[in-house]
Amino acid sequence: MARFMTAGLRTYPGYHRKSAVSLDKLGRARLAAWVQSDSYSNKTDADVIINYAKAHDITDLYLLVAYPGTPNLLMGYAGSCNTHLWGTTADGSYMFDYMVRNCAPLGIRCHAWWCMMFWSWYGDTSKTFMNTPLSDTYKDLTSYSATDGYNWKMFDATARTTVVNVLWDFAHNNRMCEGVQLDYIRTNGNSTAHTTTDITNLVGDVRTKMPDRHISVCSIGTVPNGKINDRQDVVDFVSHKYVDSVAFMGYFWCFARKLELANQFNYGTGGVEVYWGQSAEPYRTNPSDVAHNTRWIQQRGWKNFALFDMYSTHFRAAEYANYVDGININCNLETYGDIADITKISHVNGTSWTVTIGGSDYTTLYSAVTDHTEAGYLKDHVEGVEGARGPMMYVRLGDTTTYITAGDWYP
Amino acid sequence: MTTLFNCTFENNRLYDPTPHPPGNGADMVSVSGGTVEVAAAAAHDGSYGVKFTPTQGYRAWMMMACGGLRKLRQRFWIHPNSLSIATGNSFRICRNGHYDASWVAYDIGLGYASSSYYIYWNIYNGTYSSTQANGSSNINITNAWHRIETYYQTGSPGSMELWLDGVSQGSVSATNPDALVNLPALGVAGGPGFTISGSFYVDSWQANDDGTLIGA
C-alpha cells in the first residue's frame, strides 16, 4: 500500500490540506466509486464498502450526502434523502464521518458527493423529498420538468451563497473529508435562464469558499449538448483552476456518448485529475461488456476510472427505456474473442443478443440484480472473489465469472 | 479536405474499433432489435457490405464518432433489396445519432408507396431539437443500388443538399447554428413503427468535414 502514502492523508483537527501530489502526474491510476447514502447508512454496510475498497485498491469514494433532519439538506436521490436512511448509529456517530475516519488510514480519499442543480427532484414540485434552504424565490421556473421538477437559479449570487455555505458547513464538520464532488453541475435541458458563466461562477464560488479542499465535478464533456444546452463548460472550470478533478460521465449503456467523449478528451493537464465515469451496471447488459468497455477506453489513453451503478434501482424506468436502445454489444475478450472479429449482431427476443465471432454464435443475457445497495450487492457478489492483487483490478459481477478490469494500476 | 471515415467493410467485420483515422468498419454498432451483419450479398464495392434486417419498433444502426461538426459530407450506397414495407410507411436510415434521441440535426428516410421505394430527407431546427424545420418531397428509387450523397451545414440558415446517383435533388434549409453533428449514423436509424420484413444493403460509407465532392 506504499503508493497511497502521499495521497489522501492529512493532519487534523483544525487544518485542511489537499493531497500534496496528484497521482495522475506520476502516471499511476486511480479508481473511484460512487456510493449511495443508503449504502453506508449503518456500520455493517459501511464496513463492507470499506473492506471492498481496501481489497480492490479503490482510491476514492464519492459518498452521497444527506444532512440529517435540518434545513441544510440540499438534495438527494428520491428515497435516499430521508433522514432515517442517512442515519445516526446507536453510538451517535454520523456515518459519513465513520466512512472518512476508517478510510483515511487506508489512504482512501472520501469526497462529499452533492447533486447541485435541483431545487426539487423527480417531479416533486413541492419539495416533499427535500428540505432545501432555498425558498421558492430561487426556483427556476423555466426549468420545469414533469419528471425532474425544478432547478434553482444558479445565476443568482445570493442563492449561490446559500448553497455554497451548505457545502462548506458540511465539509467544515467533516474535516478529514477530501473535498466535494459536484454532480449535476449544470442546468437541465429545459432551463433557458442560465449561461455557462453562471455555472462556472457557481463552481468558482465553491472554490473560493473551500480553497484547501479537493473540488471535483461530474461532467458530460463539451459535446454540444453539454456546453450549449446544459450550460456546463468544463473547459472553463479547468482553465479557471476551479477544479482538481473531473469525472467524465462516459457511462456504459450509452455507448454513443462514450464515443463522443473519448474522441474529445484525454488526460487532464495542469494537475487536474481526469476520470472516466463508467457504469458497472450488471443487469442491463452482459457484465463482460464492462470489461471490454474499460479496455476500449484504456486504449484511448484514459487511466483513471470512476464506477457507479453497481446497483441500479435508483434509475427511473423512463430513463432506462430511453437508453435501452443505445446499448451496444461487446464481448468479453478473454472468453469470446475480440470485438474486432464480430461479423453479426442479432437482438430478436428482447432478452438476449446473439453475436457471431469467427463463425460461432455467442448469446449474451441480462443478469438481474435485486439488492438495492452497493453493500448488499457486494456481499452477494464480491465476497469470495479470488484475489484482487497485482496489476489488474477486477470485480466479479453478476452470476458469471466474467470481470471488469481496470487495467494496470502500477507504472 | 479531411476524410472523417471510409467504411468499406472489406475486412469482413462490422467494427473497426481502433481510433480514427478511417478504418474498414464502424466505430459502433448498436442493435436494439433485428440483425446487422457483414455479408457478401451486400457488397456494392469489393467483397462485403452490411446487411440490415429490421424488426418493428427497434433501431439497428452504425455510428461513427466525429466530434462536433458544422459541415458533414457523406456518401453511401444503398439497395432496398427484399425489404417489405407496407405502402405509405417509411423509417429513418440516416441521421445524427446523438445519445439523446431528440438531437436529430438531419435525417434521411426510406419508404414505400405507389409500388415504389422512395427516399426523403429533413433538416431540423436549432439545438437539441426533434422539430423538423424543412423536408424534401419523396423521391422514388428503384430496387437497385443507389448512391446517396449529402452535404449538411449548420448556419443561419443551414442547409442539407442531397444527390441521388450523382444528380442533385435539391436542398432544404433551417436555422441551425448549434446543431452540430457528432455521431453520423446509418442503418435502421429509427425503429419502424409498422410491420416490416426483409433486408436492405449498405456499402462504402464515406465522409469528410469540408463538403468536398465524394462521388462514386
Quick check: B72 pLDDT over 90?
yes
Chain B 169-198, residues with CB within 8 Å of chain A CB atoms: 178-180, 182-183, 191
Quick check: A271 pLDDT over 90?
no
- Closest in A228, A264, A341 to B67, CB measured: A264
B90 or A270, which is more confident? B90
Q: What is the DSSP string of A85-105?
A: HH-B-TTS-BHHHHHHHHHGG
Q: What is the pLDDT of residue A79?
A: 31
- Closest in A264, A326, A342 to B13, CB measured: A342
* A259/B100 CB distance under 8 A: no
Quick check: B37 pLDDT over 80?
yes
The mean-pLDDT minimum among A152-156, A291-295, A313-317, B66-70 falls in: A313-317
d(CA A394, CA A385): 9
Q: What is the pLDDT of residue A352?
A: 61
Q: What is the pLDDT of residue A116?
A: 85
* B38/A343 CB distance under 8 A: yes
Quick check: A225 pLDDT over 70?
no
* B29/A296 CB distance under 8 A: no
Quick check: B100 pLDDT over 90?
no
Quick check: B124 pLDDT over 70?
yes
d(CA B73, CA A98): 57
- Say if residues B80 and B110 touch (Cβ distance below 8 Å): yes
Quick check: A199 pLDDT over 50?
yes
Chain B 68-97, residues with CB within 8 Å of chain A CB atoms: 68, 97
d(CA A125, CA A119): 9
Chains A and B form CB pairs within 8 A to the count of: 117
Identify which of A110-114, A204-208, A248-252, B26-30 has the greatest average pLDDT: A204-208
Q: What is the pLDDT of residue A78?
A: 29
Q: Is A346 an 8 Å CB contact of chain B? A: yes
Q: What is the pLDDT of residue A304?
A: 75
For A112, the grid coordinates are 462529499
Q: What values do phi and psi take at A7, rounded to 5?
A: -120, 140
Beta-carbon contacts of residue B105 (< 8 Å; ≥ 6 apart): B95, B96, B98, B123, B124, B152, B176, B179, B180, B181
Quick check: B93 pLDDT over 60?
yes
Q: Pick from B10, B31, B51, B103 the residue to mutate for testing the A interface (most A CBs within 10 Å).
A: B31
Q: What values do phi and psi take at B74, rounded to 5?
A: -135, 155
For A74, the grid coordinates are 440540499
Tens digits of per-residue pLDDT, A59-116?
A: 889 987 753 333 333 333 223 333 333 334 444 346 788 888 899 888 889 998 888 8
Set of chain B residues whose Cβ sits within 8 Å of the Cβ of A322: 101
* A342/B29 CB distance under 8 A: yes
d(CA A159, CA B152): 42
Q: Tell me which H or E stretch contains B85.
A: strand B84-85
B138 or A164, which is more confident? B138
- Closest in A224, A325, A340 to B127, CB measured: A224
Tens digits of per-residue pLDDT, A115-143?
A: 888 776 555 566 655 555 677 888 898 98
Q: How far is B116 from chain A (nearest CA, A)?
A: 28
Looking at residue A85, its amino acid is L
Q: What values do phi and psi take at A11, rounded to 5?
A: -90, 150
Chain A 179-238, residues with CB within 8 Å of chain B CB atoms: 189, 223-225, 228-229
Q: What is the pLDDT of residue B59?
A: 83
Tens digits of per-residue pLDDT, B147-188?
A: 999 999 999 899 999 999 999 999 999 988 878 787 789 999
Looking at residue A67, its amino acid is Y
The arithmetic mean of pLDDT across residues B48-55, rounded, is 96
Quick check: A335 pLDDT over 90?
no
Q: Is A263 an 8 Å CB contact of chain B? A: yes
Q: Go through A282-312 and write b for each residue having 16 or more CB atoms within 10 A of its CB, e for each that does not.
A: bbbbbbbbbbbbbbbbbeeebbbbbbbbbbb
- What is this structure's pTM? 0.58
User: CA-nearest residue of chain A to B67?
Assistant: A260
Q: What is the pLDDT of residue A90?
A: 40
B49 or B131, which is more confident? B49
A152 or A357, which is more confident? A152
Q: Is B145 an 8 Å CB contact of chain A? A: no
- Closest in A224, A339, A348 to B17, CB measured: A339
Kindly indicate the confidence band of residue A175, based on its pLDDT and cuts at 50, 70 and 90: confident
Q: What is the pLDDT of residue B144?
A: 98
Helix (H, G, I), strand (E, B) or coil at A375: helix
d(CA A287, CA A285): 6
Q: What is the DSSP string of A208-254?
A: HH-TTSEEEEEE-TTSHIIIIIS---HHHHHHTT--SEEEE---SS-
Kindly indicate the confidence band of residue B205, based on its pLDDT and cuts at 50, 70 and 90: very high
Q: What is the pLDDT of residue A217?
A: 93
Kindly indicate the confidence band of residue A363, based on its pLDDT and cuts at 50, 70 and 90: low
The arithmetic mean of pLDDT across residues B52-58, rounded, is 92
Q: CA B168, B174, B178, B182 torsion: positive or negative? A: negative
A253 or A297, which is more confident? A297
* B29/A345 CB distance under 8 A: yes
Q: Is B58 an 8 Å CB contact of chain A? A: yes
d(CA B163, CA A123): 46
Q: What is the pLDDT of residue A325?
A: 27
For A203, the grid coordinates are 463552481
A81 or A55, which is more confident? A55
State the complex-level ipTM.
Answer: 0.87
Chain-wide mean pLDDT for chain A? Answer: 61
Closest CA to A36 of A222, A225, A312, A245: A312
Q: Is A361 an 8 Å CB contact of chain B? A: no
d(CA B195, CA A200): 49
Q: Go through A334-370 and write b for each residue having 16 or more CB atoms within 10 A of its CB, e for each that does not.
A: eebbebbbbbbbbbeeeeebbbbbeeeebebebbebe
Helix (H, G, I), strand (E, B) or coil at A160: helix
Q: What is the pLDDT of residue B168?
A: 98
- Say if residues A213 and A246 touch (Cβ distance below 8 Å): no
Chain B 16-35, residues with CB within 8 Å of chain A CB atoms: 16-20, 25, 27-35
Q: What is the pLDDT of residue A124?
A: 59
d(CA A296, CA B181): 23
Say what percent of chain B tops pLDDT 90.
62
**Helix axes of A157-172 and A196-209: crossing angle, nearest 10 degrees:** 40
